[in-house]
Each structure stands twice: as C-alpha cells, then as structure tokens.
Copies of this chain bind each other. A is one copy, B any other.
Amino acid sequence: MFRYLFILLFFHIYSFSQSFDETESKIKSLYNFSLTQGKSYDWLEHLSNQVGSRLSGSLGAERAVEWAKQELENLKLDKVWIEPVMVPKWVRGNFEYASIESSTGNSINVSVCALGGSIATPSNGIRAQVIEIRSIEELKKLGKKEIQEKIVFFNSPMDPTEINTFLAYRKLVNLRRNGAKEATKYGAIAVVIRSLNLVNDDFPHTGSMSYGKTKLNQRIPALSISTNGANLLSSMIKLDPSLKFFIKQNCKNYPDVLSYNVIGEIEGYEYPKKIILIATHLDSWDLGDGSHDNGSGVVQSMEVLNNFKSLKIRPRHTIRVVLFMNNENSLSGSKEYLKNSIKKSENHLFALESDSGGFSPRGFSFDSSTQIFKKVKNWNQFFKPFFADNFYISDSGVDIKLFKSTGSVLSSLKTDSQKYFEYHNSAQDIFSKVNKRELELGSAAISSLVYLVDTFGL
C-alpha cells in the first residue's frame, strides 16, 4: 500500500523523466556491478598493502597520489588532473616508549603513541608524577598548584551506551585536540590521553592535536595511551598517587611540503557546468594502513566513476571525484580545492562524502534545506532493498563541510559504526578488517545516490 502511494507520488513528481521501475532497475544494476565486477576491494588491497599508510608529507602519501591518478586515468575519464597544495609534514620518528615506575627499578611498560602534531620529549624522556583527570574543566578546577610539573593524564573512557559511536567520540575528541594547549596553561609538562577506543586493548590511537597560539617554548608533548595502559596506570595511581611515569618520543614538525589533490571527472552532457562532487581524503594516519579511514572511502568514490563508465551511464551533470591530500592533520586539501574552485566560478550542486569506514551501509545524512531534504528523503525507498534507507538531516563530515558556504547540498554515507573506534587511528586499521561485501555495498550506495541526484536533480 505504502509502496503504491509512493509510486504514485513518484510518478507525479518525476513523470517528466523516467519511471520508478526504470530507476529501481538501474540502481539494482549499480549494486550488482559493484558486488560482482567492481574494483573497490582490489583497489583497497593495493592502496592498503602496496602503498600502505600515507600521512601527508610522507613518501606513502606521494605514492598514493601517483597510484590514484594512474587508476583514474585507467578508467578513461574525460579528465584527470592533480592540484598542487602545501600540506603539513609531521613525522613520528622512532616508536614511543612509556613505563609506570612504582618504585625504583620496578617499572611496567605500557603502549603509547605521539599525537599528530606533537613535539618530542627531551631526548632522555620525561619522568614525572601523574595527575589523573577527566576533563578540561577539572584542569581549571585543580589549578596550577595541583597541575604544575606533572604529567596530566586525561582518562575519560568513551561512553559504551552511546549507540552511534561517532557521538561518543565527539564528546571526548576535544581532550585530544586541545588537552595539551589547555594543560600547559597550568604548568603541566606533558599530557597523556586515554585512547579514543571502545574496547580494552594494547593499541594506542593517534589523531590530530593543536597547540593553537601557545608559544613555542611553552609547548608540551602530547601522547595517547592504550585503553589497557590507561586502566593499569589509573589503578596503580590509586595504590600510589606519587608514582612516576616515564615517557619518551621523538616526533617532529617540519615546514609544509608540496603535495596534491587528485581529481577525475566525467563531463555531464546536459549540465557540464553543474558538478556532482564525491569528495574524500586520500591521506591516512601512519599507524595501520588506513583501510577504514579512509582507504574505503577513496576506493568507493573512485568506484562511482568506474560504475558509470562500465555501465555506460552518461551523466547529465558532471560527476567529479576529488581525493584530498591532508584531512588528518589540517584541511589543506579541501581548502585549496575550494579556493581554486571559487576562482573558476564552479558550481557544485551536490557534495557527497564517504568517510565512516568500509562497514555495512545504513543510509545517508544530508545537510540541506528542509525542502530539498523532503525531496531526497523520498529516494530512500530505493535503498530499502539494500538496508541502507536511513536518511536524515545532520551536519556533514569534515571533508565537505567547507562546501556549505557555496550553497551545495551536502551528504555523507552512514555505516554501521559499532566497530569503527576499535580500529580508528590505530595499528588495527588494516586491510583484513574490511569486509569485501560491506565495502562494495558502500560503493553501490554512493553510486546510486549520485545516480539519483544526476537523474532527478535537486
């Protein structure tokens, strides 16, 4: 009955173009192709295992640019190019080291890693008392007297009762981003952040941090400690609040270096000047190989173009994929792209992002007017057979949020997020954690949404 009503409504709105059944069957063919002849999984295998991690400014990043450009060229698109952009270069150096010293000569190693952008410790490390707190507010409450000369240990676990794990992450990510900047105001000599990880294990999770306007000589090292390490440190502090913690890292910030966004497009036959953009970041953190964050999004985005080419779908609008260099420790790539795009007076009708990991797709979020959302919400009917029909209004992801200012409609692929933060920004984010079918279903989902926007407009 609902289906019947929907079909009626659909015909009413779209009678000018093509039938419900035709649309349904085209979407099915996009799914079938992605699941049986798509390139996503092979591409991801190469990007993850042959190129590997690709932090901006690294050799891996340069190899990823070459690889992506070559693969897009192999698709025989109308145009493939790279766009120069200056990006930060931060290098981890030797692996980090930390130990809990309960008494002289008695120490236990725990797993830590430097946060991206952090400075090194002095070459012989830092050995100091630890103050365990939960929040930046607590820092303020305790004040200089309790904080100075100490290592601040932010030990806030992610909330396991938050079903959308991205929300649990967002509640705490400020500690990682700004913990060092805040703690230094009270005389702390380093900060150690509990890894943003929903399970207890020995893998520290990195991520970006910033000193903001903190003077160079007031900057302090920032590390992430594994959840197991954090639990151990916390319970040992309870036994002996005066215990010492030793940390050592020799990461380093270098001047910005030249890198590239990678761009490919199929020109629209009806509206070549109106662009449907699929935008995502090509760079990754250096731990693991960035298979979920965001190798998956990269190959899924490229697969949209492969799907259109292979199935000989001629788009009315220009379908463009842009792979940004450097989302992980600034947004250089997307800023540069947008700047140039505005110069060229380009019109981005729609910007779509896949950056929630290669997990089973659940639907899409949209950042648009209510009126436009009302229209696209109707399309979720087409995604019901694929269990990806959860369409809702929400802020968009970081890769595309800058496009908001240009009036584009923004959208993000949403996946099942239960496992995302077990892997995110850690050595666990590797190819074997991505399931082929789930990855391919994501490729098919974004291809289908792009197809709908192209066919029916916004």
Interface residues, chain A, CB within 8 Å of chain B?
A: 28, 31-32, 35-36, 160-161, 163, 198-199, 360, 362, 385-387, 390, 416, 418-419, 435-438, 441
Contacts and interface: CB of A to CB of B under 8 A. Distances in A.
A356 to B, nearest CB: 13
Q: Is the interface of A mostly helix, strand, loop or mixed?
A: mixed
Given A163-B386, A360-B360, 14 more contacts: A28-B161, A31-B163, A36-B161, A163-B385, A163-B387, A163-B441, A199-B436, A360-B418, A387-B416, A416-B416, A418-B435, A418-B437, A418-B438, A419-B438
Contact of A437 (B32, B386, B419, B436): B419
B360 A387 contact: no
B161 A437 contact: no
Contacts of A360: 360, 416, 418
Copy number in the complex reads 2
A387 B386 contact: no
The 8 residue pairs across chains A and B that have the minimum distance between CB atoms: A32-B161, A418-B437, A35-B160, A360-B416, A163-B386, A418-B438, A35-B161, A360-B418
> Which residue, of A36, A416, A437, A441, has the highest number of chain B Cβ atoms within 10 A?
A437
A31 B437 contact: no
A198 B441 CA distance: 14
A25 to B, nearest CB: 13
B416 A31 contact: no
Contacts of A419: 435, 437-438
A436 B199 CA distance: 9
Contacts of A435: 418-419
A198 B418 CA distance: 23
A442 to B, nearest CB: 11
A35 B164 CA distance: 13
A258 B35 CA distance: 46
Nearest to A162: B35
A436 B419 CA distance: 9
